[in-house]
Amino acid sequence: MGRVHFGTDGIRGRVGSEPMTVEFSLRLASAAASVLGGGGGAVLIGKDTRLSGYMFEAALEAGFVASGVDVLLTGPLPTPAIAYMTRQLGCRFGVVISASHNPYEDNGIKFFDSQGMKLSEEIEERIEACLSTPPLTRTSRELGRARRLDTSWLHYQQFCAGILSAGTSLAGLKLVVDCANGAAYKVAPRILADLAAEIVPIGCSPNGRNINDACGSMNPQLLQLTVPGVRAHAGIAFDGDGDRVVMVDHLGRLVDGDQLLYVIAADAHAAGTLRGPVVGTVMTNLGLELALRRLGVPFERVPVGDRHVLARLVECGGILGGETSGHILNLDRTTTGDGLVTALRVLAIMKRTGGTLAELAAGMEKLPQALLNVQVAQRFDPAGVPAICEVVRRLEEQLAGEGRIVLRASGTEAVIRVMVEGRDATEVRGCAEQLAEVVRSAAPV
């Protein structure tokens, strides 16, 4: 049957349309319980701040309890907190209700196994195969129990503090923290304040509808204005579920995931603690690869998606990898992308070295990059269209080995992503626009 509903990061869609309905959520809970619920243990359920999260939380809770699985409810907490606590509390599996950086009209459901790792494609296929079975309701004697963990954030706070060297303090750092009106809105300011940083919060007033709305890692413009405006040392922007982070230096300049990865990798390399290659994706800025090469640090690329980054790191024994979006894996610290862990590592480096974020990131020169999303009638493989391949070949000759071209179909929508990278910003933009026009005209209808 394969994976019909599961995408690259769980199940996601517009609320009220399949699969993001109450009826589907009940079937999903029953199917997941039948595949993952054996052998005792509870399921841990967390969510972000979307209004629809309460509805899906109730539906999943009912489905799991009816199937005989105990349920622990955390309320709003970052996705990586649920991954950590699933393992820490000995839960059978964990569930996060979130559509990450998407607008509030969307929502999603993703799973972690008992070790806080994302499910394998094989397990997801097994759950898919059970979705056609009506939800199970056991007898009263066999029902699960549900309870709320009112102090669940304390577990995660202790974990985050524990990733830093003993006695680390952020005293003297003034930080603007943008939580995207999302899942990190309580826990991130608390953790940073407990480490003695001075905090200026923005995007920390969720109302159920304003998640990712003109704030957060996808919209850091307000953060870029606020940091120099209040004379802060740096700014931090999370996405709606807290697994991504970008930062802003004291001048208001954006420091993206590639640059943060460089800062952490360079520091670990200097300390002799870096293992294996650093892993990025085909979309990672060429500047990171060149900067790491100068340090003698190997770098590898994989297809887009943290699942691919994780798989390669595990395969080669690496500990650091990530994406430009700020979804960074620190496998020597935790099992999944964690925006707060990444930010804390960078802040600790700033504090220990006395360097500003701008100075730490200066070792990596970002090459100009143009990314265009071309809407098409249906998804297709651009590498299979001769007219497109011919233009790619000609443009690569024009870039003369000083740039890259990446064409890929979106995994979730009818969009072809066109990325061109090179030394000259004007040339890069022109090449991207030429290629986008060819993709648009050559796309099947």
Phi/psi of residue 386, nearest 5 degrees: -55, -40
Start-to-end CA span in the chain (Å): 27
Q: How confident is the model at residue 295 (pLDDT cuts 50, 70, 90)?
A: very high
Q: What is the pLDDT of residue 69?
A: 96
* Mean pLDDT (whole number) for 219-237: 98
Contact 250, 228 (CB under 8 A): yes
Tens of pLDDT, residue by residue over 35-58, are 998 767 899 999 999 999 999 999
* Contacts for 15 with CB less than 8 Å, ≥ 6 apart: 52, 105, 106, 107
The arithmetic mean of pLDDT across residues 151-165, rounded, is 86
Q: Say how far apart CA 34 and CA 397 lie, in whole Å.
A: 55
- Those residues whose C-beta lies under 8 Å from the C-beta of residue 287, and which sit 6 or more positions away, are 258, 364, 365, 366, 367
pLDDT of residue 440: 92
Number of alpha carbons in the 13 Å side-chain half-sphere of residue 214? 4
Q: Which of the residues are catalytic?
A: 100
Strand order in the sheet with 415-421: 369-375, 415-421, 404-409
Cβ contact 249:255 at 8 Å: yes
Helix (H) or strand (E) holding 202: strand 198-202
* Secondary-structure class of domain 369-442 per CATH: alpha beta
- The verdict on domain 156-244 having CATH code 3.40.630.30 is no
**378 vs 364: which has the higher pLDDT:** 364
Mean pLDDT of the chain: 94
Of the listed ranges 156-160, 195-199, 249-253, 433-437, the one predicted with least confidence: 156-160
Q: pLDDT confidence of 243, banded at 50, 70, 90?
A: very high
Residue 33, pLDDT above cutoff 60? yes
Q: Using DSSP, state whether 74 is helix, strand or coil.
A: strand
Q: pLDDT-derived band of residue 185, with 50, 70 and 90 as boundaries?
A: very high
For 255-361, which CATH class? alpha beta
Residues of the chain above pLDDT 90, percent: 87
Q: Quickly state the pLDDT bin for 161 (edges 50, 70, 90).
A: confident
Better-scored residue on pLDDT, 243 or 305: 243
Amino acid at 143: L
Instruction: For the chain, give every domain's residue range.
Output: 11-150, 156-244, 255-361, 369-442
CATH, domain range 11-150: 3.40.120.10
Q: Do domains 156-244 and 255-361 have the same CATH topology?
A: yes
Q: Are 285 and 421 in contact (CB under 8 A)?
A: yes
DSSP letter at 50? -
Q: What pLDDT, on the 0 to 100 scale, is given for residue 412?
A: 66
